[in-house]
DNA sequence: CTTTCTGTTAGAAA
DNA sequence: ATTTCTAACAGAAA
């Protein structure tokens, strides 16, 4: 499920647990996830060894985010770039109590992000655990059912940038760079429908299938609309919708798409705020008219034919 | 049983 | 050059 609010929620929750910890040992169970794409698979094993040697002995000094990427900053200036793609998760399990951690209030809960916990996933590692980091105070597990994600080592943040990982990315919606005028300017350069333009990350980053539809609903604009036909008022409404929906979703800890809860049930869940996502054919929560479902940019898209124009 | 669908996006195909 | 579609994979849903 990781779109920006989920990745940001994970970053925030994980930060407290991994900062200043030393990476004692790294186990790679699926080398292709740490060796980059487009390269010969023959290189996978040697790259996995490089990955281990590169990380072991270093300390995690920072955990940042750019778009949907997580960036671990290491003690020697090195960087570990992690993209969860569709099903990646990072779960931290403290050494003391297996799979559990004491919270401030003294109760026990797992630390997880990127994907909801299922009963069968509580015991780690499991069959979809592909990378294990042994840290000073516990283990960090990378799980990824569909194996689309990646974890890549770089000697510096500059190297990440020159490798083109962040090229073409648009504005960060949680940052002060995300102004209405800059959003309007970038949108004006694009062609095609809103769904396609939002999903391609070049105007504003972080919107995926869920938040794209939710933002469009909030703005009263159909995702089918060609961006060049939007009025200034509609562009403004879209801007306002983004700065309303995204921070709210982060505040609530992101969305769980399926109906499971986190183990302690305490974590916020933006899924309950969804107005249109997964609601095609159901009545609009505002006007009661049947929500329309279509396919746009290859993705299921839902909007209200009465409230969105 | 088989077929279709799914939170992402790089790279292929058009 | 630019835009659209598919592959990467596993599993849930139909």
> What pLDDT is stored for residue A109 in this prediction?
41
Whether the Cβ atoms of residue A69 and residue A165 lie closer than 8 Å to each other? yes
* Token pair 């750019």 in the structure block, residue: A66
Instruction: Dig out the tokens for A301 from the structure.
Output: 């898209």
Q: What is the pLDDT of residues A73-122, one digit of tens each?
A: 999 999 999 999 998 989 888 886 544 444 333 333 444 554 444 433 45
CA of A200 to C1' of B11 (A): 14
Contacts of A3 (CB under 8 A, 6+ apart): A68, A206, A207, A208, A209, A210, A211, A254, A255
Using C1' positions and the CA of A116, the closest nucleotide is B7
Using DSSP, state whether A291 is helix, strand or coil.
Answer: coil
Whether the Cβ atoms of residue A202 and residue A264 lie closer than 8 Å to each other? no
> What pLDDT is stored for residue A57 in this prediction?
98
Protein-covered nucleotides on strand C (Cβ within 7 A): 2-6, 8-11, 13
Record the pTM. Answer: 0.90
Measure the CA–CA gap between A183 and A171, rounded to whole angstroms. 8
Q: What is the pLDDT of residues A188-203, one digit of tens each?
A: 999 999 999 999 999 9
Instruction: Dig out the tokens for A240 from the structure.
Output: 């306002």
């Amino acid at each position: 499920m990781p779109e920006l609010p989920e990745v940001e929620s994970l970053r925030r929750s994980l930060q407290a647990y991994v900062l200043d910890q030393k990476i004692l040992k790294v186990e790679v169970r699926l080398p292709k996830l740490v060796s980059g794409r487009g390269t010969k698979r023959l290189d996978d094993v040697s790259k996995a060894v490089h990955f281990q040697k590169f990380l072991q002995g270093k300390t995690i000094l920072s955990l940042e985010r750019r778009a949907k990427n997580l960036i671990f900053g290491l003690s020697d200036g090195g960087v570990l770039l992690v993209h969860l793609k569709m099903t990646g998760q990072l779960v931290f399990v403290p050494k003391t109590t297996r799979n559990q951690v004491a919270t401030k209030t003294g109760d026990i809960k797992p630390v997880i992000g990127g994907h909801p916990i299922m009963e069968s996933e509580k015991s780690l590692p499991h069959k979809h655990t592909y990378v294990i980091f042994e840290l000073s105070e516990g283990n960090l597990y990378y799980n990824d059912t569909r194996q689309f994600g990646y974890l890549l080592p770089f000697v510096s943040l500059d190297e990440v940038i020159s490798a083109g990982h962040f090229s073409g990315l648009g504005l960060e919606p949680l940052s002060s760079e995300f102004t209405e005028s800059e959003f309007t300017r970038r949108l004006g350069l694009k062609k095609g429908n809103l769904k396609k333009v939002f999903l391609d990350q070049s105007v504003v980053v972080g919107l995926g299938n869920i938040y794209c539809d939710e933002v469009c609903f909030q703005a009263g604009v159909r995702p089918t609309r060609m961006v060049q036909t939007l009025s200034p008022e509609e562009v403004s409404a879209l801007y306002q919708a983004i700065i309303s929906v995204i921070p709210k979703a982060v505040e609530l800890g992101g969305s769980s798409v399926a109906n499971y809860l986190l183990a302690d049930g305490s974590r916020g869940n933006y899924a309950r705020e969804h107005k249109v996502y997964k609601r095609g054919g159901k009545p609009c929560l505002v006007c009661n008219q049947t929500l329309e479902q279509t396919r746009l940019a290859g993705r299921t898209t839902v909007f209200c034919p009465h409230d969105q124009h």
